[in-house]
Amino acid sequence: MPVTTHRALPPEIQDIQMQMEEIAAGYGLDFFETIFEMLDYEELSMFAAYGGFPIRYPHWRFGAEYDELLKSYSYGLSKIYEMVINTDPCYAYLLSANALADQKLVIAHVYGHCDFFKNNAWFSQTNRKMLDQMANHAAHVTRYIDRVGYEQVETFIDACLSLENLIDPLSPFIRRSPLDRMPVQPKPSENSEEETGHDRESQGRFSSKSYMDPYINPPDVLRREQEQRRSQQEARDAARSFPEKPQRDVLLFLLEHAPLRTWQHDILAMIRDEAYYFAPQGQTKIMNEGWASYWHSTIMTKHGLTDSEVVDYADHHSGTMAMSPQRLNPYKVGIELFRDIESRWNRGQFGREWEECENEERKKRWDTQAGLGREKIFEVRRIHNDLTFIDSFLTEDFCRKHKMFSFAYNESSGDYEVASREFRAIKQQLLTSLTNHGRPFIYVKDGNYSNRGELYLQHDYQGIELKQDYAQATLKNLHMIWGRPVHIATFVGDKPIALSYDGHSQQSRSA
């Protein structure tokens, strides 16, 4: 891939940036310092393949994504207008081939994203210096390649990347009790001088005068009781789960317990850090794009357009917002939901009185002049993610107005078809697709399965089966890291099964 040289913005783009920044701040948007750079499409494709970062560790997948993006642009199938990354300061990249009207739209859109990155709660725990961190990761991987060889490092990175979604995206927000982290106190030795008085009583001894002790606490009885207690403790230790509770962060469990070499441990930790950095973007795709689109639409239509730019703006904006029969458009759903929330809270269409009103004509004319819409959307932007956003604000009226429906795959025709126009079905399908990004919930249940050091995972089955080929490939990669047989308990239909890989073959059995 080409080595990029960042170019400063032309004077006219610098003027537009300053103007858009002032307008955005005037609306109450609060963002980190934002640095814009101009790139051609090859450079922008490279950055996009790298996840928005100019430097990443060497790996074939980045080259494959770069090639796909470049060909898609060359064939007229897609176009990247801009890219912005969540750092402090924020870095945004503009496409040099964009027309002036597009540059205005993009800059306004970027300030919406930057405000969202800074203020949304789900980004509050991310590393704002990830630009430097990514460069450090690249340097570390390069050193390991020099030390142990490219193929060995690449193969290990392949295995780690196939597991990068096996994290717990909620863990950065969990505050556990300090008691959970207290060190385990060592047990007193059998001959400890402290085993007197109450301690002796707790070990089966009775308080007695010294001359009566051999009769009240016979040594042979005490030894038998001590052996019995030791056997019971060993049985309890053997039955104890490892970990004590199912652990969702599989990568953390591997880092703590897998027999990894130093360089392998370091690379797995890098992959996990980057997975947690990107997780909030997956959790807020609809909201983030909807918020940025709301503000570029507001700023452009009220402040940013000349008469000659209106048609081009309308054409490009409508193209971005077009809904596809095959998939959800996060830009469209996000912007329309924010507009709907603003309209409802401006008209007072919320609260118990509104919810309990059954008069349709009265609800159509409902307007208390509350004027709380703008305040409400800023609040929503601050505290919600996509799942809670849809759950809290997607209404039956909204679905009817925008002609939303749920769809399913028809095996006989080989096409996706409308499955239902019923509100509950639509909302449920959306929530299901957004829960954990539509991925399965996988937990570490036992790190010493059958007392043989084998890894046993549990799939939290919620009606959707694992893809067998994906599951088998994942077990192989887990085995590479764990070094011993790995298993996962799941379901096929209503039948519980366990899939296993022992390093040589795949097995499937009833669980």
Q: What's residue 197's pLDDT?
A: 39
Residue 270 has pLDDT above 90, yes or no: yes
Question: 412: pLDDT confidence band, cut at 50, 70 and 90?
Answer: low
The pair phi, psi for residue 324, each rounded to 5°, is -105, 140
235 pLDDT tier (thresholds 50, 70, 90): low
Longest dimension (CA), the chain: 110
The pLDDT, as a whole number, for residue 4 is 43
Structure confidence by residue, pLDDT tens digits, 24-48:
999 999 999 999 999 888 888 898 8
- Per-residue pLDDT of 184-199, as tens digits, reads 444 444 343 333 333 4
Residue-level pLDDT at 240: 59
Q: What is the mean pLDDT of residues 359-368?
A: 88
Q: Write down the pLDDT at residue 168.
A: 92
Taking the CA atoms of the chain, what radius of gyration do you get in angstroms? 30
pTM score > 0.85 for this model? no
Sign of CA pseudo-dihedral 206, 211, 212, 215 = positive
* pLDDT, tens only, 43-70: 888 988 898 898 899 999 989 988 988 8
Sheet holding 82-85, edge to edge: 34-39, 90-95, 82-85
- At 89 the pLDDT is 93
Bridge partners (DSSP) listed for residue 95: 39
Average pLDDT over residues 203-224: 74
CA pseudo-torsion sign 289, 293, 294, 299: positive
What was the pLDDT predicted at 1?
42
Q: In this predicted structure, what is the pLDDT of residue 179?
A: 39
Percentage of the chain beyond pLDDT 70 is 86
User: What is the band of 84 on the pLDDT scale with cuts at 50, 70, 90?
Assistant: very high
